[in-house]
């Protein structure tokens, strides 16, 4: 669900966050309006608002694991983990994690990719949130949920800064709640 | 300090010829496999030896921050990754230790807060884990320095050498401005190639590098020498192999 529909309606922080995100047309290919969060990271106030909103939401939910999807999930996840006293678990592309891993494949537009996690990172019954910068089809997050559940952990929610129109109205992803701060910027100008 | 020196002597007793790898120099496995030794460094004394005034101010009376041993012991060593002979320093276990991770960030934040640093640059991908929390705490921007073709906007790039061939790191045009003061963060410094490229990239646009900061250094690989004038601050040293 979008933050504005879930207690943060009219919160000026959401506007600041949205305004700080840059749209780059035709990246990585023609027709895609890429939502660039690097400009959000350059805006200290807006970046802090982003983290604060997630921290306020999760700090009293007994979350012991924040999992972040490589690589942009790494930019948001650790700060949230530190503030709520949770572990940070990186979910990575194949071959990057050095220890014993479990992996889950997911679909791309053409072909597949895999997401990996260290086997000892998450314990059964741990309460987990999964972070990424953006959710589009939800394929990556679904794979992340599968990884957690294979270890007996409970995914409490998936959280993203940006949610593409495909997920609007979709409150759940693979049965798990989805929490999104903002919609994509600048689409109206170009569509 | 004494223990750091003696561990290096142990390791170099039978120096095999080094073979260059992407990030690490890997020594051929000796007939007697020495355990990977980890040393905790004296904060501010060994690591920033006489390079900056700030390091002298940071040094504690006994030369060792009491948080360091726990940080060091939370790092897992994985032998033969990504290939035989390399002792990989795995920081993912540090991230699972909430106290050690918090202490790591706190040490960096204490060092860099209030020093007019407006840019924390982090090298992909493990620099993205440590950099943003530091940036948020000291009121700086976070600037990701990425592998080619990841950043969507206009970029500048800097090439650096690998064992075979070259690689590049990139930064968005306009991310930083001339005159800004920056620190560069990565989880580990080995040969120093990546960090040196990051320094060159930022200096090309007129940014002053206040310091490079890593959790781990592999001192045998002499990465420090590649950094030129830029000081290096680290928490933990370890053997490469």
Per-residue pLDDT reduced to its tens digit, B172-188: 999 999 999 999 999 99
Average pLDDT over residues A173-189: 83
Task: Calculate what percentage of chain A has a pLDDT beyond 90.
Answer: 79
Average pLDDT over residues B61-83: 89
Closest CB to A44: pick one of B102, B130, B141.
Answer: B141
Sequential DSSP letters for B33-83? -PPPPEEEPPTTTTTTTTT-HHHHHH--TTS--TTHHHHHHTSEEEET-SS
- What pLDDT does A187 receive? 61
pLDDT band, very low/low/confident/very high, at A58 (cuts 50, 70, 90) = very high
Closest CB to B125: pick one of A22, A71, A88.
Answer: A71
Q: What is the CATH number of domain B67-237?
A: 3.40.50.2020
Inter-chain CB proximity A78 and B129 less than 8 Å:
yes
Is pLDDT of B160 > 60?
yes
- Tokens matching residue A162: 């940006």
Average pLDDT over residues B35-42: 46
Distance between CA atoms of residues A64 and A167, nearest Å: 26
Helix, strand and coil in chain B, % to nearest 5? 30, 30, 40
Q: What is the CATH number of the domain that holds A127?
A: 3.40.50.2020
Is pLDDT of A87 > 80?
yes
Is pLDDT of B234 > 80?
yes
Is pLDDT of A145 > 70?
yes
Helix, strand, or coil (residue B104): helix
Give A2 to chain B, closest Cα distance, Å.
Answer: 24
Establish if A94 belongs to a structural domain. Answer: yes
Inter-chain CB proximity B153 and A22 less than 8 Å:
yes
Distance between CA atoms of residues B220 and A186, nearest Å: 51
Select the residue from A26, A54, A78 to test the B interface by mutation, using most B Cβ atoms within 10 A. Answer: A78
The domain containing residue A100 runs over which residues? 3-182
Is pLDDT of A43 > 80?
yes
Inter-chain CB proximity A89 and B96 less than 8 Å:
yes
Averaged pLDDT score across all residues of chain A: 92
Beta-carbon contacts of B125 under 8 Å, excluding residues fewer than 6 positions away, are: A70, A71, A74, A92, A96
| Choice among A111-115, B131-135, B150-154 with the minimum mean pLDDT | A111-115
Number of domains in chain A: 1
Closest CB to B139: pick one of A38, A44, A118.
Answer: A44
Is pLDDT of B102 > 50?
yes
Establish if A155 belongs to a structural domain. Answer: yes
Select the residue from B95, B117, B120 to test the A interface by mutation, using most A Cβ atoms within 10 A. Answer: B95
Distance between CA atoms of residues A189 and B103, nearest Å: 46
* Among B23, B38, B111, B126, the one annotated catalytic: B126
Q: What residues does B26 pair with on adjacent strands?
A: B19
pTM of the model: 0.86
- What pLDDT does B39 receive? 52
- What pLDDT does B163 receive? 77
Is pLDDT of B71 > 70?
yes
> Distance between terminal CA atoms of chain A?
24
Name the more confident of B208 and A32.
B208
pLDDT band, very low/low/confident/very high, at B107 (cuts 50, 70, 90) = very high
Establish if A130 belongs to a structural domain. Answer: yes
Residue B177 annotated as catalytic: no
Establish if A107 belongs to a structural domain. Answer: yes
ipTM above 0.85, yes or no: yes
Do residues A147 and A115 make contact, with C-beta atoms less than 8 angstroms apart?
yes
Residue B126 annotated as catalytic: yes
Give B142 to chain A, closest Cα distance, Å.
Answer: 5
Average pLDDT over residues B100-115: 98
Establish if A188 belongs to a structural domain. Answer: no
pLDDT band, very low/low/confident/very high, at B20 (cuts 50, 70, 90) = very low
Average pLDDT over residues B2-30: 34
pLDDT band, very low/low/confident/very high, at A169 (cuts 50, 70, 90) = low
Establish if A189 belongs to a structural domain. Answer: no
Distance between CA atoms of residues A117 and A108, nearest Å: 19
């Amino acid at each position: 669900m979008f933050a504005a529909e879930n207690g943060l309606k009219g919160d000026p922080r959401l506007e600041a966050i949205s305004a700080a995100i840059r749209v780059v047309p035709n990246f990585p290919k023609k027709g895609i309006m890429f939502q660039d969060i690097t400009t959000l990271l350059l805006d200290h106030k807006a970046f802090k608002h982003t983290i604060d909103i997630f921290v306020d939401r999760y700090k009293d939910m007994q979350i012991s694991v924040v999992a972040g999807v490589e690589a942009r999930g790494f930019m948001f996840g650790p700060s949230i983990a530190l503030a709520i006293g949770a572990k940070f678990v990186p979910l990575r592309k194949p071959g990057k994690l050095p220890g014993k891993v479990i992996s889950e494949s997911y679909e791309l537009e053409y072909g597949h990719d895999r997401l990996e996690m260290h086997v000892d990172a998450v314990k059964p019954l741990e309460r987990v949130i999964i972070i990424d910068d953006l959710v589009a089809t939800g394929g990556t997050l679904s794979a992340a949920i599968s990884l957690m559940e294979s270890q007996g952990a409970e995914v409490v929610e998936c959280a993203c800064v940006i949610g593409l129109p495909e997920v609007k109205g979709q409150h759940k992803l693979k049965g798990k709640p989805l929490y999104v701060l903002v919609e994509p910027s600048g689409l109206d100008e170009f569509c | 300090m004494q223990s750091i020196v003696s561990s290096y002597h142990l390791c170099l007793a039978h120096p095999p010829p080094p073979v260059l790898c992407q990030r690490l120099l890997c020594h051929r496995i000796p007939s007697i496999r020495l355990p990977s030794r980890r040393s905790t460094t004296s904060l501010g004394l060994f690591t920033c030896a006489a390079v900056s005034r700030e390091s002298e101010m940071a040094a504690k009376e006994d030369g060792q921050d009491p948080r360091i041993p726990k940080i060091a012991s939370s790092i897992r060593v994985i032998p033969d990754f990504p290939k035989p002979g390399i002792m990989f320093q795995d920081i993912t276990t540090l991230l699972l230790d909430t106290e050690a991770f918090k202490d790591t960030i706190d040490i960096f934040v204490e060092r860099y807060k209030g020093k007019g640093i407006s840019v924390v640059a982090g090298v992909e991908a493990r620099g993205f884990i440590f950099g943003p929390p530091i940036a948020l705490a000291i009121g700086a921007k976070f600037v990701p320095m990425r592998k080619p073709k990841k950043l969507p906007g206009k970029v500048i790039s800097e090439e650096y050498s690998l064992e075979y061939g070259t690689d590049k790191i990139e930064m968005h045009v306009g991310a930083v401005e001339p005159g800004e003061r920056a620190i560069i963060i990565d989880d580990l410094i080995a040969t120093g190639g990546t960090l040196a490229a990051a320094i060159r990239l930022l200096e090309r646009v007129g940014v002053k590098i206040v310091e490079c900061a890593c959790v781990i250094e592999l001192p045998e690989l002499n990465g420090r020498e590649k950094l030129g004038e830029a000081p290096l601050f680290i928490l933990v040293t370890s053997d490469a192999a």
